Structure 1
Amino acid sequence: MSIGVADEDHINLDAENRRRVRRRSLRLLKALAGPLKWRLIGTALLVLVSAGSRAALPLLVAWAIDTMLPRVVAGDYAALGFAGGAYIGTALLAGGFLGLYTYAAAAVSQAMLLDLRLRVFRHTQLLSLEFHETYTSGRVISRQTSDLETLRELLDQGMSQLVSGLAFILFTAISMFILDWQTALVVIGAAVPIAVIFRWYQVRSELVYRESRVISARVITTFVETMTGIRAVKAFRREQASDENYTDIAHQYRDNTLRTISLFGVLQPTLMLIGNLTVAAVLLIGGFRVLDGSLEIGALVGLLLTAKRVFQPVEAIAMFYNSFQAATAALEKVSGLLEEVPTVVEPERPRQLTHAAGRVEFSDAVFGYGSGPVVMDRFSLTIEAGQTVAVVGQTGAGKSTLAKLIARFYDLSEGTLTLDGVDLRELSQRDLRRAVVMVTQEAFLFSGSVAENIALGKPNATREEVILAARAVGVHEFIESLPEGYDTDVNKRGGRVSAGQRQLISFARAFLADPSVLILDEATSSLDIPSERAVQAALARLLGERTAVIIAHRLSTVEIADRVLVVHDGKIVEDGSPAELVAAGGRFAALHAAWQDSLT
């Protein structure tokens, strides 16, 4: 039985899936720690030396009181120097190795975090479009930010506290048995109530911390979506509704945080109470034994010091457990994301297609999004090389689906889709992206200069090639008018561009890539009439030898097409030249008539 990332956002998992998630998380930690094995071993050795040195200090105190002090009283002052020197040397050794360990542990944790951060970024980028269209951007951001930050806190501080604390407790327990095994049993007995309170905390906090990661992701998702769609929020006066929604989620996050604090508020004071009662018991029992002569005074002082100090790391471990529960929940989410697999995969033995002519053919194609219904059923289509095809139809008819399949953002469920007779699933991503380029209506521009954004289509392009591409789509004059011309940063003041200008820059990017098949998915929807005419003129010049698939609502774009496909309910119901379809009096003719009426 398997579960996906989306399923893990349900807080209550059954026992089998909880075990599966934990195993997956442990595998991830093992993979991160594997390359750092020797550094981890070296760090562990530093911990052992540091903890052993610190645990030896009460032994030295007891030895100094019971053995060295009588010699000093007898006039042997060298014993005082010897005892003092041993204590100072051991303290310096403990402090020095603790400093080395702290640095070494931080270096290891940062190396693991760097590896994990890069894994998350690279894996998320490699996942197919299907994943990104179902997994909200806010949740992806949450994985890369708050979840990794929680893991950073654990690895940077929590793991150091745990390892150092456990080593110190072990060596302190050994030192107590060396001093007096009977009194040491009193301290060991305190482990029973400590185990009980830790178990109580574990059971109750596990669910709370898993809920915390889910609500944290919702907070980020809601904020990101609201800010991304702020124009729509303001246009429809949704500020109050958005505020109420965010307030509700923020209150849930606050309540969850209060529950986690209240649980720890029980754990920490209980540990302090157990520690204080144990020290009191050591003092009482040890005091009576000193009075009856069965225990020396120095040993009692050493036992009191060790009993008091042994509970300091216990409290630190409690702090670690607090971080551990939060980090465990975060690691579940991150490991779940990394377990996602692309639905569009690179072929093991790709076929070469260095120079594609651009012939596209669907044969008995069947497609549906994920586990949803079939949206294209037994669909066949041939687009000859160099042909310009316009695809029209009502919203949801399947036009964009056709474009995404040709670009191989998705794979067919059944049937074949070939480019120059080669199945797209047999082509390497490199050859496919060189042969097929898609321009969408979003026209996204990355941070950087205008020239860098155009050169995205051909990273090694010269400035002259960038300018030629800009001239081809009629955007050169606009770019030259910017404060720094082609070097203007598109996200800085003075470099802001309109939606239509962004679209033209993305057109220049696509033309520079020089694909065999160019897909324009609603790519002129953001253009005003003058810009659209400029683009149409450029298309008329540049698409003579290139296969073009143009998906558009504006029928003015269809005028340059050799062929028009009318799509309805995932099927091609009309196919012909614009003039032939107008004369036929079908769906395209009705669309054309409505468009003509809108111009009058």
Structure 2
Amino acid sequence: MSMFGGGFGGPGAGPGSAPMGGLGGIGVNRGGGRQVGAGEGLPFAGIPAELMAGVAKLERSEPDHAEPADTFTHQPPRTGPLTMVSLIRGHGRTFAVAVALVIVETLLLQAGPLLVQIGIDHGIVPRDFDIVLLAAGLFAASVIAGWAASGARMRQTGRLAADTMRDLRVRVFAQLQRLSMDYYTREKAGVIMTRMTSDVEALQQLFQEGLAQFAVQGLTMVVVTVVLFSYNVQLASITLFLVVPLLLVASLWFRKASDVGYRRQRDTIGAMFSDLSENLYGVRVITAHNRQERNTAAHRAVVGAYRDANDFTGHINAIYGPGTSVIGMLGLAALLLIGGNMVLDGDLRIGELTAFVLYLNAFFAPVQQLVQLYTNYQQGRAAVLKLRELLAAAPTVPETPQAQPLPRVRGEIVFSGVTFGYEPGRPVLRDVELRIAPGETLAVVGPTGAGKSTLAKLVTRLHDPDSGRILIDGVDLRSVTLASLRRQIGVVPQEPFMFVGSLRDNIAFARPEATDDEIWSAVDAVGLRELVERTQLGLDAPLHERGQSVSSGQRQLLALARAFLAQPRVVVLDEATSNLDLRSELLVERALDRLLDGRTALLIAHRLSTAMRADRIIVVDASGILESGSHAELVATGGHYAGMYATWSART
């Protein structure tokens, strides 16, 4: 049955496809704009007039966020390695205000024990109620001021975290757009996702609260140490020198162990995301082959490795946290014993001992906080290392600083001594010599793995040859800007990718500025007008993720419309008709005649019916180009192509 029988997602749609015209409800835009549906992803109908005043008021209250510093360029930016300091660079004013507020907050937090000491020694002991009242009032004022300073500091650190992470996300996304195809062949999609999700989130948590609290608690220990020695050098020395060495040894052990633990955590969470991503993308194959139980068991093992990493970090935290608590309690016990004896001997006042106990407790309390904060720091540090590795990766298909824009081409393509392999020492193409004349349609046929699609990837410069050159109108592809090259080359892959959005968005993907008339011309060129008009929303009909709401054949036709609209000078079709039924293939071939008219074309074909339409055919295998000529010439020579044609004719 033809896939054109029932509109998008009709009888020709694959299993699980949803009818395109039936997605979402149909609304009415009384302002005269496009019709929109109630479903997610449909066009925005506009803000009602009665709400505009409120929207304007809300916009005026929004802070003015500067544009991110990083934008996309094919040439990697000349920046140093990613560090926490480099992330703050450019936000110095916000950082400076946050640091000042941290100092104020810390000093206010430590005013309490001093006021308690004054209240006891100068108010309670001599029975002076005015001093007691003054100390209590100042205590309350310091608490309120500390609360205000803490709130202001949190606003500053929150803004710092939001701004730096926005810049980082843009920088990482631009780098992912910049990297070459072989990076995505080596790296799993789930691992890449962790860079933009859990790694950035770990850094955001650290910048928003972790670093500030780290500074507050660390500064608290410094301030308290100074205060303790100002009260009584002998008592402070005895108490701290009993405790600090033990804390130092425990902290050094914890740092070394946690470094190992949090690296394991980052690696295992990446593996978990990768396995999840692969299972989501392959859910149809998993269901078809009844692999749910086995895949669940495999995922359980992956999750188990992440659990083991968490168990390890939890174990070292369980040792370090209670251990430091015990050390602190022993220090307090020593203080009470020694200090109490000094009070009895008249060498220390009761208020000073009370303040000493409170300050020493304030010295040990940050240690407990620093355990958790160091955990957050280690997570952030591990994230920085992973992100630094990603940002340091260099594209294997670079754009040189001297690259020049490619002028409008006639379309001559020359392979000169081209050798290429995806793995070192295992070439797929060897010393290829090939010339495609301007306006010529060249078809490439041959067995699977012979390098047909590799030729197409080299022409579009998704890869560079290991040796030799590829020229377009006599210009080496390495010497021109990638944008100017790819603007003049249209590509229709074997499995075209559709994005979430409308039909209009997907067809105009390479030319977002195209008018509706131009889009409809592309739709007509591939014979899709009747089909599009059957949907209630027309060009505004939504597509689901990866185009799952349409059949594979319909996706191919949309990809051809996308290429037609781009109006390239060179067209590369990689098995572009392999997923079409006979009726669709006839429509596409008629559309190809219009698309290829006056343009150079490279057709990677399994179907000889497509290859026969080319001006010239080359036959390739692992040893290189075996034959070259028109369909009639190759059949007449009785070689490899003639054998392929005889086999194909016998089966049709």
* TM-score normalised according to structure 1 size: 0.92
CA shift, 1:58, in A, is 0.6
Q: Is the 8 A contact 1:483 1:494 kept in 2?
A: no
Q: Is the 8 A contact 1:482 1:495 kept in 2?
A: no
SS in structure 1 opposite 2:487?
A: helix
Equivalent position of 1:44 in the other structure:
99
Question: Where do 4+ consecutive residues of structure 1 move more than 4 Å?
Answer: 24-27, 492-495
Equivalent residues in 2 for 1:5-24, closer than 5 Å = none
Pairing 1:129–2:184 present: no
Q: Deviations over 1:202-255 (max 9, x none)?
A: 222222221221111111111111111122222233223322221111111112
Identify the range of structure 1 (550-559 vs 461-470) with the bigger mean alpha-carbon deviation. Answer: 550-559
Equivalent position of 2:570 in the other structure:
517
Equivalent position of 1:60 in the other structure:
115
CA shift, 1:108, in A, is 1.2
Pairing 1:412–2:465 present: yes
Query: Quick one: distance in 2 between partners of 1:467 and 1:561?
Result: 27
CA shift, 1:182, in A, is 2.1
Structure scoring higher RCO (CA < 8 A, sep ≥ 6) equals: 2
Letter in 1 for 2:488: A
Q: Is the 8 A contact 2:556 2:576 kept in 1?
A: yes
Equivalent position of 1:166 in the other structure:
218
Letter in 2 for 1:536: E
Equivalent position of 2:144 in the other structure:
92
Equivalent position of 1:155 in the other structure:
207
Equivalent position of 2:307 in the other structure:
254
CA shift, 1:421, in A, is 1.0
Equivalent position of 2:170 in the other structure:
118
Query: Quick one: distance in 2 between partners of 1:597 and 1:28?
Result: 66
Q: Is the 8 A contact 1:59 1:179 kept in 2?
A: no
CA shift, 1:372, in A, is 4.6
The structure 1 residue matched to 2:339, chosen from 286, 297, 301, is 286
Q: Deviations over 1:497-533 (max 9, x none)?
A: 1111011101100110000100001121221211111
Query: Quick one: distance in 1 between partners of 2:255 and 2:80?
Result: 18
Pairing 1:69–2:124 present: yes
Equivalent position of 1:8 in the other structure:
none
Q: Is the 8 A contact 1:56 1:175 kept in 2?
A: no
Query: Quick one: distance in 1 between partners of 2:153 and 2:556?
Result: 55
Equivalent position of 1:13 in the other structure:
none
Equivalent position of 2:369 in the other structure:
316
CA shift, 1:148, in A, is 1.7
Equivalent residues in 2 for 1:505-544, closer than 5 Å = 505-544=558-597
CA shift, 1:25, in A, is 10
CA shift, 1:485, in A, is 1.1
Pairing 1:444–2:444 present: no
Equivalent residues in 2 for 1:64-463, closer than 5 Å = 64-70=119-125, 73=127, 77-189=129-241, 190-463=243-516
Q: Deviations over 1:105-160 (max 9, x none)?
A: 12112222112111111101110111112211111111111222222222223212
Pairing 1:35–2:90 present: yes
Q: Is the 8 A contact 1:364 1:379 kept in 2?
A: yes
- Summarize the Cα distance change of 1:134–1:40 in structure 2 as closer, same or farther, 3 Å threshold: same
Query: Quick one: distance in 2 between partners of 1:232 and 1:532?
Result: 26
Identify the range of structure 1 (546-555 vs 29-38) with the bigger mean alpha-carbon deviation. Answer: 29-38
Identify the range of structure 1 (48-57 vs 186-195) with the bigger mean alpha-carbon deviation. Answer: 186-195
Pairing 1:559–2:636 present: no
SS in structure 1 opposite 2:91?
A: helix
SS in structure 2 opposite 1:35?
A: coil
Equivalent position of 1:588 in the other structure:
641
Query: Quick one: distance in 1 between partners of 2:583 and 2:177?
Result: 36
Q: Is the 8 A contact 2:522 2:564 kept in 1?
A: yes
SS in structure 1 opposite 2:306?
A: helix
* TM-score normalised according to structure 2 size: 0.85
Identity within the alignment, %: 37
Query: Quick one: distance in 2 between partners of 1:370 and 1:106?
Result: 46
CA shift, 1:570, in A, is 5.4
Identify the range of structure 1 (154-163 vs 56-65) with the bigger mean alpha-carbon deviation. Answer: 154-163
Q: Deviations over 1:446-500 (max 9, x none)?
A: 1110011111121110001001001101122212222311101101899921111
SS in structure 2 opposite 1:142?
A: helix
Equivalent position of 1:550 in the other structure:
603
Query: Quick one: distance in 2 between partners of 1:153 and 1:266?
Result: 24
- Summarize the Cα distance change of 1:26–1:191 in structure 2 as closer, same or farther, 3 Å threshold: farther
Query: Quick one: distance in 2 between partners of 1:292 and 1:361?
Result: 100
CA shift, 1:53, in A, is 1.6
Q: Is the 8 A contact 1:361 1:417 kept in 2?
A: yes
SS in structure 2 opposite 1:457?
A: coil
Query: Quick one: distance in 2 between partners of 1:475 and 1:485?
Result: 11
Q: Relative to total residues, which structure has the larger helix share, 1 or 2?
A: 1
Matched residues, number:
573
SS in structure 2 opposite 1:377?
A: strand
Q: Is the 8 A contact 1:489 1:495 kept in 2?
A: no
SS in structure 2 opposite 1:520?
A: strand
SS in structure 2 opposite 1:88?
A: helix
Identify the range of structure 1 (329-338 vs 405-414) with the bigger mean alpha-carbon deviation. Answer: 329-338
SS in structure 2 opposite 1:382?
A: strand
Letter in 2 for 1:315: Q
Equivalent position of 1:9 in the other structure:
none
- 5+ residue gaps, structure 2, are 1-78
Q: Is the 8 A contact 1:129 1:410 kept in 2?
A: yes
Query: Quick one: distance in 2 between partners of 1:259 and 1:594?
Result: 63
Q: Is the 8 A contact 1:520 1:549 kept in 2?
A: yes
Query: Quick one: distance in 2 between partners of 1:226 and 1:598?
Result: 37
Letter in 1 for 2:477: L
Letter in 2 for 1:85: G
- Summarize the Cα distance change of 1:50–1:366 in structure 2 as closer, same or farther, 3 Å threshold: same
- Summarize the Cα distance change of 1:264–1:431 in structure 2 as closer, same or farther, 3 Å threshold: same
Q: Is the 8 A contact 2:109 2:146 kept in 1?
A: yes
- Summarize the Cα distance change of 1:231–1:320 in structure 2 as closer, same or farther, 3 Å threshold: same
SS in structure 1 opposite 2:286?
A: helix
Equivalent position of 2:34 in the other structure:
none
Query: Quick one: distance in 2 between partners of 1:100 and 1:187?
Result: 35
Pairing 1:573–2:626 present: yes
SS in structure 2 opposite 1:345?
A: coil
Query: Quick one: distance in 1 between partners of 2:392 and 2:329?
Result: 47
